[in-house]
Structures are given as structure tokens and as C-alpha cells.
A and B are shown apart, each in its own frame.
Chain A
């Protein structure tokens, strides 16, 4: 595992201000009613020869991010930049301030804009291994054709030379000549994932995007695949973007870890630092949710992650994690949606809610059927709402059937430095027991 970033290393992938928003279409006219912010304002670097672990719950946008890095989809804003020297990276960061000035740089380095030879170079250099090895192999092709296809597409080999190259690749992943003329369905899940890996290695790429390569497999097979990936990296000097929902999987492979929550980076740190001292409550919750990491037995009643991931089409204000955070304070971004969400959990009251008139995400008037219902809301809020939420309240007044609620507006929480190469998007410098 290499940790120090030498001055002369090239940055294989630089992700800058990356956004991918999917429109939500409704009705017969397919009107766009909103956007799912699958990836929002993400930036990080992948240095040559390193492994970057991308961790988050399902639905946090990590697969979308992987597809963007692999050049399979186009960003809404920002970009993925391929193979930058130290000077070019400095140039890029300088240019990030203005889209117009960056246009020329984008044309040369942004992966979704690459053309001709530059695009072919990127395509050969960036490969991907998918999660579902049953869906990622064409059921009508023989192993020889599946693994040999990249060589044929890039005119590297044909005829017997191609077969020999394929056998070589199969042997590297622990398969052999006897598997050449078989169909994918004749193999087990682990073997199929090996075929996928062999295909990804055929063009001798620099970067391999691994999208949960082992999570669909049995635990014993999972370990075999992880070992294989580790050995291949050592032999061939590969760079990995390792996407997973399980921190323990990347602990021994990743040099750096990016933790994503609802499309945003919540923490980014060298692996050892992240495990030793997580600086974001979400990372801490993920660590506690990993069973084999609770070796010290210091439980203090922590329950791991509670609640479900909020709707990515309407991410929470302030810190996106505040709705599930056990350390949340009054400055974490409490808003009208949090009140409405609590109302939904008390059906008797929610049914009597007639209308919500928003002036901002933090300021709204809730109109009820009756004065009594309006007063019930105020009293339940004062008795049952979490303390930080009540503290965040600026104003709550009842006027007949309407309740005017105003919270203190909080801007989106940005990533801030927490030490060498360590960033977290949390308003709290220190939280909880740490």
C-alpha cells in the first residue's frame, strides 16, 4: 500500500465539481417536476497506482459516480478529468472558478468530451467490473469471445494469437484453457466475476472501476475475489476505484476513502486516518454498522444507522445527514420538511393538514382543518420533537387554523479540512465521545 503522494506521480482521474441530476418526469406530457441529485458537487483525485474506496449506502450515488468515471454517462455539471500531470492539475484547480475559461482545458482532458485518439487512449485505460456477473456477460457469447472482445475491438490480436492472449488472461485470474469454449451460464458466480476481471484486464488498463465486485458473492468466494484483485494490482500496478457499501471490504485495499451520502461527499481521508478517527458522524455510524470492527466491545448503547435515506430529489438542508444524525445540533439545517416528516408519522394530525405554504425551505405556514389541530401540532412539537430541532426554531405562532413556523436558515455544509488530506462536511469540529 502506497500512501505518500510523490511529486512526480500523475493523477489518473481528477473529479471536479461533478454533478449528475436525473430529471423526474410526470404525467402524460412527461413534464419535468424535479431532479434526483444522484451526484452533487463531488471532487476528489485518484493517483496512479492507488486504490480509492468509494463507500456509502445504496442509493447514495456511488454507482452513478463510478459510471461517470468510467465514461459511461455524461455529467450535468463539472467533470471527470483523465491523466493529469502535476502542472495540469494546478491549472485545472485554477480554472475551476470559471466555466468559460475552462472550455479549452475541458476539450482536452474531460472524459466525456474526448475525441479520436485521446478518447481511444482513455477507453483503453479505463475499464470496469460490474456488480452483477450474471448480467455483465452476454449469455450468447463464448468465454473466448467475451474476454477476447476488447483485443478485437482495439485490433490487438486475432486468430490463434487472440486465443493465446485469452488463455493467458484466463490463467491470470485462476481459470484456464479448458474454459475457452463455454457459455457464461456454465460457470459459478465467482468464476463469472473472474471472467469479468479477465475482460477488464485484456487491454492492460491503468484504472479499473470496481463496482461492488464481490458483494453478490458468498463470503468465502468474496475473499478469493478480493485476494485476486489485490494480487493483480501488485503485479500490474493497477489503479482502482473500489465502490462498495461495506467499509470492511476496502479497509485492507484502499489508500484513500471517500464516504458519500445522498450524492455528496461527507468525508474523505486516508484509510488509516478514517478508521482511527472518523470526523463525520455518518462515517462513524458506518464503522459501527460493520460488525467485525467492534472488537473493543465499547458499545455504549449505540444502535448504528437509524431511519431510511431521505428522498434524493429533495435532499435535507444544511447537512444532508442531520435527519438521522445522533449528534445533530441546532445549526445542522432543521427545516420545514423535518416538521412535515414528523407530522406524517402522526397520521391523526397529518390527515387534518390542509396546505403548506412555503416561503423558503425554512419558513412556511401550515394550515389545518381546525384550530384545535393547529394547537395540537404546537404542543406535540414542544413535547416530542428532538431538542436540537426545537432549539433551531426561531418562531412558531398559532393564528387561528394556521401555524407559522420559521427556522434559522442554514447554508449547505461544505467540506472543510480536518488535517492532512482529511476533509469532512460536518459543522461540528468534535462530536460525541471523540
Chain B
């Protein structure tokens, strides 16, 4: 039966395998992400930040006993950048600003990774449940989500952290409570949209189990916007976290950018700009970098542009 239409692409070599096809597709996707200069800039900043965070114990002398606490040099209080032993100066309590900047990256990475993994997991689970099952369960879950959404993010997180008492752990907790809602919303909308596709019916006609239909057909086709949002939130969470620690909801003396900015702000009027400026710039760069990457991912991963390529 010679009824095949001619393919526009040449026949694949016989050595083709599923793994290779998938790897090539992943490669194409990566190349696509990297071809955009702003996305690339974001990615480079992020990689620098992450390597700085990971290498902190080797590029600085860790403070003992707790390296996440600022080391105090009582012999060099509020010295300007360029002073011997303190390239970025010290705070008015003798904290080394460079140490704070480097270990702050570690704290921020920890904060954003923990919060994003908790919120994505919870949000995706709840959104999927609501969207996939529908009906009464959907109704109940979404009303709960509405309650959370009705309070502004920052104020809500602030209230929770304030009630729980000032500690960095409580900031993580507060942010986790606040940020999952968005993912539940996004995921529910995606699942409701994706489950109407005929390939879901096709899987049911084959006789596949609901859970596997969810795992193979619905989840992979609805997760993209969640990934984009998670990337953006990697930045937002550090911004909100720094805000909370700036107003004193983290332990004093923690090597964290928000704490450092807060410590340095009293000196600004006296001309000691460095203690606030460097950690402030780090927060700014961190949030900017993840936003650049997130925007780039959105453009590349958008399902509408993806299938047509």
C-alpha cells in the first residue's frame, strides 16, 4: 500500500533511540534559551551567585562556631571599603561586609530553594487535585485558595513571621505558607484546560488508569507555566525574605542581605554607605537575574510556540 505522504524531513538514521531523540530535543531547547542575550545574562548572574554560595566556606574563613553568623572584628568598626582585611569595609558593629555578601548568597539560595520546593509541591498537588477531580473538592480547595489570595503577600508573610517570632526559620515558614497559593491556581487552570484534550480521552479508551493518565498526559502538558513561575519566584522570595529580615524578623547578626542592609542603614546619614549598598545590590541582582531567566523561559516554553516549532 503506497499511500504514505512524503515527509519533509529526511529518514532518521537506524541508530535512532528514544533517549537520543529526547536528549537532542533538550539540547535544542537549551540552545533556544541561550540564544536570547537577556536570558543569557540572567543565567550567568545566577550561576555566579550560586557558585559564590556553594564555595563560601572556601573563599572566606568560616566563622566559628556558627558560620551563618557575621564575624565581628572589634578592632575595625565601620572601616570603609579597601581597608586591610576588609575589602568591602565593615559595619558599625565590626561585621565584615564581604563575608555578609558571600554568606548571604548561601542563605538566600537556601531560602529560595526550600520555599520554592515546598510551595511548588504543595501548590501543584492541590491545584492538580482540584482541577483533575473537579466538583465539590475543587470548590472547597479553591475557596481556601481565595482566602489566602485575599491578603497581600508581603503583609501576610509579615504577619505570620511576626506571630511566630523573629527567626530565619520562621521567615521560611511564613513564605511557604504564602507562596503556594499561586501554584495551586496556575496548576488547576492548566489541568482543567489540558484534561479536555482528546489525547486524554484516547488514553481512557485504551484503558489506562486515571493516575497514569495524570502522570503521562496531564502533568507533563500542564507543568510549563509552573516552572516559569517558580523561576520568577526564586527571585521574588529572596526579595520578600530580605524585606522581612530588614524589618527585624530574622535573628540579629545573621549573615543575610536584608539583615546587613538594616544594620548599615543607621550609618548612611553619616556617610558610611557601604554596609547597606553592597548587600542591597546583591538582592537587586539576584531578583533581576531570576526575572530575566523566567521571562526567557516563558518565551521558549510557551506551549503555543513549542508545538509549531
Contacts and interface: CB of A to CB of B under 8 A. Distances in A.
Given A174-B3, A174-B4, A224-B3, A181 B206 contact: no
A72 B201 contact: yes
Contact of B202 (A130, A178, A228): A130
A213 interface: no
Contacts of B202: 128, 130, 136-137, 196, 199
Given A136-B198, A191-B5, A228-B1, A126 B18 contact: no
Interface stretch (A142-150, A318-326, A367-375): A142-150
A178 B204 CA distance: 28
A132 B20 CA distance: 29
B1 to A, nearest CB: 6
A35 interface: no
Interface string A156-188: 000000000000000000111110111101111
Nearest to B309: A185
A128 B205 contact: yes
B16 A139 contact: no
A82 to B, nearest CB: 14
Nearest to B219: A140
B63 interface: no
A252 to B, nearest CB: 17
B1 A231 contact: yes
B220 interface: yes
A141 B216 contact: yes
A139 B306 CA distance: 10
B203 interface: yes
Contacts of B198: 130-132, 135-136
Interface in B202-221: 202-208, 212, 216-217, 220-221
A256 interface: no
A181 B16 contact: yes
Contact of B5 (A144, A153, A221, A227): A221
Interface in B278-309: 303, 306-309
Nearest to B16: A181
A190 interface: yes
B222 to A, nearest CB: 11
A130 B199 CA distance: 9
A226 to B, nearest CB: 11
Contacts of A269: none
Contacts of B220: 138, 140
Interface residues of A, number: 51
A414 B281 CA distance: 80
B3 A139 contact: no
A178 B307 contact: no
A349 B103 CA distance: 80
A23 to B, nearest CB: 13
A161 B17 CA distance: 15
B12 A181 contact: yes
A330 interface: no
A183 B22 CA distance: 10
Interface in B192-251: 197-199, 201-208, 212, 216-217, 220-221
A182 B12 contact: yes
A137 B216 CA distance: 12
B147 interface: no
Contacts of B2: 174
Contact of A123 (B12, B207, B212, B307): B207
A104 to B, nearest CB: 25
Nearest to A149: B206
Contacts of A37: none
Do most interface residues of chain B lie in helix, strand or loop, or is the interface mixed?
helix
A70 interface: yes
B21 interface: yes
B11 interface: yes
A120 interface: yes
B207 A186 contact: no
Nearest to A220: B5
Contact of A135 (B199, B206, B306, B309): B199
A188 B221 CA distance: 21
A175 B3 CA distance: 9
Nearest to B221: A140
B219 to A, nearest CB: 10
A314 interface: no
Nearest to B139: A30
A128, A137, A140, A227: most-surrounded residue (chain B CB, <10 A): A140
A185 B14 CA distance: 21
A25 interface: no
Contact of B199 (A137, A175, A186, A227): A137
B5 A136 contact: no
Interface in A336-381: none
A153 B208 contact: yes
A228 B3 contact: yes
B207 A124 contact: yes
B48 interface: no
Interface in A101-146: 120, 123-124, 126-128, 130-132, 135-142, 144-145
Nearest to A205: B205
B205 A138 contact: no
Interface string B77-121: 000000000000000000000000000000000000000000000
A154 interface: yes
Contacts of B203: 138, 149
Interface in A202-239: 203, 221, 224, 227-228, 231
A188 B3 CA distance: 13
A200 B206 CA distance: 8
A131 B16 CA distance: 30
4 closest Cβ contacts across the A-B interface?
A123-B207, A136-B198, A135-B198, A178-B11
29 contacts: A67-B201, A120-B207, A126-B205, A136-B197, A136-B202, A138-B199, A138-B221, A142-B18, A144-B18, A149-B206, A150-B206, A178-B11, A178-B12, A180-B16, A181-B17, A181-B18, A181-B20, A185-B308, A185-B309, A188-B5, A190-B5, A191-B4, A199-B206, A200-B205, A221-B5, A224-B3, A227-B3, A228-B3, A231-B1
Given A174-B1, A187-B7, 18 more contacts: A72-B201, A72-B205, A123-B205, A127-B205, A128-B201, A136-B201, A140-B221, A142-B18, A154-B207, A178-B12, A180-B16, A181-B12, A181-B21, A182-B12, A185-B307, A185-B308, A190-B5, A224-B3
